[in-house]
Structure 1
């Protein structure tokens, strides 16, 4: 594990661009990475997930060898120009400068002053690149160690490069006050990244000692209690530390879903540290861990009895990627009144078009390169394009959606089962039919 990061760091130190698609950086978790995870209930998920992401490889904050500057400049590389980075709060594309420059520095999304201010060789959260982001120097100073909260029109605006409107919330960051009593509201396009970084910290750091080096680690806990956060700011490394606000971060996680840039950062940090942010790979686990909602929907109709031997027991029938597509809840709940459910259709060929459709019964007939799992079709949601990772999202607003020529708003009835499935184009599919389908997903909405 050490030779690859050092080679990457050396290239960066020479000013040579290293593309994100370099063979040293794999996309997505390796096969079996999450196999030990038990997501049947919050306690089991926390215990087994912590065991998977614990005990990562630490790199120094600043060093003549590979350090957090090297990792972050690769992890936050501008996808359109490998000589530049895209920083967090202003969303500006800046030329890579390396450490000690006057344009951007490193933002501790969990402020190190809250629990781990002393950067010693055994301080793992201080240099954890899942918690660190490159950031405009002025904006990093503006944020300081303010907790993440929801602001209002009375706050001060810190716009992104798209420009500020002066009208809250717009496309801007917003701030007020200072320190523990202060507020920082991250702009809409990166608030989910920040939230998932802190949610990761809550699970990764649970006290005890590092399993390899034996160094003590803090227990980092997210909270909505300001007094607990204030008690953490002692000037010393603490065994228990708090940050917030948890309720806001959970909202941000839903408002700003995982995107390609966040997946790319996760892949790069994993290549160095050896651990992943699981909430980038499995956003649905947030609801189970922090809201005790461990099951949204019942999947069915997996890839068996597929038309040309292209079975995949854990998803729909296999497509041109070699695996099947999976329809599952990405975030939110089955609450009719909240209408916050987001479905994710993943495992599609990159950049192909797909749709989510639903009906009132099940089916099981061959259709294209897959199997049609939904009967009595009520309608379909809008056509959407998968991202480079082969995923698309549908929702929130599933309850309120009105199908053209189908049942009007109010067509979903609480307590009645509905059946959802994903359809997508697959020109290179194994059976030659140019399209395929995911598994089915049964949903039963609650009040």
Structure 2
């Protein structure tokens, strides 16, 4: 009832206080330990690209409200950020991404700041503005804010100290430790407290805008974990190392209220492990399904063009329960005969080899030609 009521009120600027009140009501339901109804259409037995595509379609189709970047007549991103990034211990303040110290004389590293100290002019020292976690200039094409769209998606906007935002600029993220700041290589480390937040935002932007916001454009280092090489290792490591905070949960709820869609990787960081492999992240839904590591099972999956056969080789064959072939649409094509599958009757294209071992799953994309 509250959500339907809010969608009507979002068009009226004078009723901003109602948005804040409803945010507090909604934030009481954090969905911890249970699968939210938002994901009822998702087959959580999937992994890899199949799961990624389903989640991508979900957050695209449920993005019902495009928020204006700045507006004097309608709800804009300033309004949403002041609610989504609120400091729980003092709701007159917002949390500042990359910040870490409110007690010293340096304002650039402040962790919180009054909502009223937002920057709306050219002289903004000591004020806060809106940081694009995925920088506008690193997207292809660039993220723009002239009209509601990818550049105004509040999932990607964080309250940030003006000077710190300028220091980060469009630097790519890279490994580091401790507090936020530029690395020796000239990249940016978001800080121990914020690295998981950043990783989960980048993952969201990739699924929401898959052709425009690729993680490899904003993260340095190798991409060894992800089978397709499309997710930098640092983001998977940060997602695992820095668990979801209550602040992120409340923020996700507030933005979902305003836009309609949610960040799945805040609701359950383990979804990233299922999609891209890597270090095992927290599974907030207490699911019995876990990722099957190809390294642990020493798997070699390949297509033999001359034989027209797909082969699975493993030094631990006794651990494999079943192997099947899945189409790009997610439809089961058939089961393997042992650890081989004849492709002579198949059309050329992309398929997935699905390996099951107890409650473990592993998907491998393979081309048949």
- What's the TM-score once normalised by structure 2's chain length? 0.61
Offset at residue 291 of structure 1 (A): 2.3
- 3-state secondary structure, aligned to 1:22: helix
Offset at residue 80 of structure 1 (A): 1.2
Assess, with a 3 A threshold, how the Cα gap between structure 1 residues 283 and 272 changes in structure 2: closer, same or farther.
Answer: same
1:44 aligns with 2:50: yes
8 Å contact kept, 2:67–2:77: yes
Assess, with a 3 A threshold, how the Cα gap between structure 1 residues 34 and 150 changes in structure 2: closer, same or farther.
Answer: same
Identify which of structures 1 and 2 has the higher relative contact order when contacts are C-alpha pairs closer than 8 Å and 6+ apart: 2
Assess, with a 3 A threshold, how the Cα gap between structure 1 residues 443 and 24 changes in structure 2: closer, same or farther.
Answer: closer
In the alignment, which of 77, 81, 101 is matched to residue 68 of structure 1?
77
- The residue aligned with 2:96 is 87
Q: Tell me which protein shows more strand as a share of its residues.
A: 1
What CA distance in whole angstroms lies between the structure 2 residues aligned with 1:259 and 1:197? 13
- The residue aligned with 2:152 is 127
Matches within 5 A, 1:8-27: 10-12=14-16, 18=21, 20-22=23-25, 27=30
What CA distance in whole angstroms lies between the structure 2 residues aligned with 1:330 and 1:75? 32
1:54 aligns with 2:63: no
1:175 aligns with 2:182: yes
Query: What is the CA deviation profile of residues 26-77 of structure 1, one whole-angstrom value per residue up to 9, with x for unaligned ones?
Result: 6449953112212423122012111110041210111112000100110011
In the alignment, which of 62, 83, 106 is matched to residue 130 of structure 2?
106
In the alignment, which of 138, 144, 167 is matched to residue 118 of structure 1?
144
1:150 aligns with 2:175: yes
What CA distance in whole angstroms lies between the structure 2 residues aligned with 1:119 and 1:111? 12
> Aligned residues, how many?
267
- 3-state secondary structure, aligned to 1:36: coil
Matches within 5 A, 1:293-372: 326=286
In the alignment, which of 216, 220, 226 is matched to residue 223 of structure 1?
216
Offset at residue 112 of structure 1 (A): 0.4
- 3-state secondary structure, aligned to 1:254: helix
Instruction: Give unmatched runs, 5+ long, in structure 2.
Output: 101-110, 221-229, 297-315, 320-357, 361-369
Query: What is the CA deviation profile of residues 250-299 of structure 1, one whole-angstrom value per residue up to 9, with x for unaligned ones?
Result: 111111110100000000000000000000112111012122899999xx
Q: Tell me which protein shows more helix as a share of its residues.
A: 2
1:253 aligns with 2:239: yes
8 Å contact kept, 2:128–2:162: yes
Offset at residue 12 of structure 1 (A): 4.5
Assess, with a 3 A threshold, how the Cα gap between structure 1 residues 81 and 112 changes in structure 2: closer, same or farther.
Answer: same
In the alignment, which of 174, 179, 188 is matched to residue 192 of structure 2?
188
- 3-state secondary structure, aligned to 1:257: coil
Offset at residue 18 of structure 1 (A): 4.0
What CA distance in whole angstroms lies between the structure 1 residues aligned with 2:174 and 2:235? 8
Offset at residue 335 of structure 1 (A): 8.1
Offset at residue 201 of structure 1 (A): 0.9
What CA distance in whole angstroms lies between the structure 1 residues aligned with 2:231 and 2:137? 16
What's the C-alpha RMSD, in Å, of the aligned pairs?
A: 4.1
What CA distance in whole angstroms lies between the structure 1 residues aligned with 2:150 and 2:16? 24
